[in-house]
Amino acid sequence: MTGRCCESVLGELLRRNVAVFGIERTGENEIVFMSGARNRAAVTDVLKAARGRGVRYRLTALGLPAIIKKNSRRVGLFAGIVLSFLMMYASTLFVWTLDISGSERVGEEEIRSMLSEFGLSEGTLIKSVNADELRSGVLGKYPEISYLTVRIAGTCAYVSVSERTFPPKTKKDGAPCNLVAKRDGVIIRSAAYSGLPQVKSGESVKKGDLLVSGIVAIGDEGIRAVHASGEVIADTTDEFSVVIPLSYTKKVYTGAEMKKKSLGVLGIWIPMYARQEPPYGDYDMFTASSNAEFWGMRLPLRLRTSVFLEYARVVCTRTEEEALRCAYDAYGEFKKTKGRITEEDTDYVCSGTELVFHATVWCEEDIAEEREIQTGVRTDPS
Here the CATH number for the domain that contains residue 107 is 3.10.20.310
Comparing 207 with 89, the larger pLDDT belongs to 207
Q: Do 33 and 63 fall into the same domain? A: yes
Asked if residue 274 is part of any domain, the answer here is yes
Is 117 domain-assigned?
yes
* Residue 365 to residue 376: CA distance in whole angstroms: 33
- DSSP H helices, 243-351, are 320-335
102/149 Cα distance (integer angstroms): 11
Claim to verify: residue 229 and residue 260 sit in the same structural domain: no
In a domain, 226, yes or no: yes
Question: In terms of domains, do 192 and 228 share one?
Answer: yes
Residue-range definition of the domain harbouring residue 212: 177-236+368-372
The sign of the CA dihedral 117, 121, 125, 131 is: positive
Name the domain boundary from 137, 163, 189: 163
The answer to whether residue 207 is domain-embedded is yes
**Element holding 4 (H helix, E strand):** none
Please tell me the total count of domains within the chain.
Answer: 4
If asked whether residues 232 and 252 sit together in one domain, one would say no
Which tens digit of pLDDT belongs to each residue from 327-377? 999 999 999 988 889 999 999 999 889 999 999 999 999 999 999 887 554
- Secondary structure letter of residue 72 according to DSSP: T
Give how far Cα 258 sits from Cα of 286, 288, 338, Å: 11, 14, 48
Buried b (16+ CB within 10 A) or exposed e, 344-378: eeeebebeeeebebbbebebbbebbbbbebeeeee
**Residue 82 resides in a domain:** no
Residue 253 sits in the same domain as residue 198: no
pLDDT in tens, 246-282: 999 999 999 999 988 888 776 677 887 777 678 888 9
Q: Note whether residue 91 is domain-resident.
A: no
For 159-191, write each residue's pLDDT tens digit.
898 888 766 554 555 688 999 999 999 999 999
User: How many Cα atoms are found within 13 Å in the side-chain-facing hemisphere of 95?
Assistant: 25
Nearest to 153 by CA among 283, 298, 341, 335: 298
- The answer, yes or no, to whether residue 207 has pLDDT greater than 90, is yes
State which of 316, 332, 360 marks the end of a domain.
316
3-state SS class at 348: strand
Task: Please identify, among 296, 316, 336, the residue that sits at the C-terminal boundary of a domain.
Answer: 316
Helix segments in 64-187, DSSP class H:
64-70, 75-91, 108-117, 131-141
Helix (H, G, I), strand (E, B) or coil at 284: strand
* Statement: residue 55 has pLDDT above 80: no
Model pLDDT, residue 376: 54
User: CB 215: neighbour CB atoms within 10 A?
Assistant: 17
Can you name the residues that pair with 150 across neighbouring β-strands? 159
Name the percent of the chain lying above pLDDT 90: 30
Domain assignment of residue 128, yes or no: yes
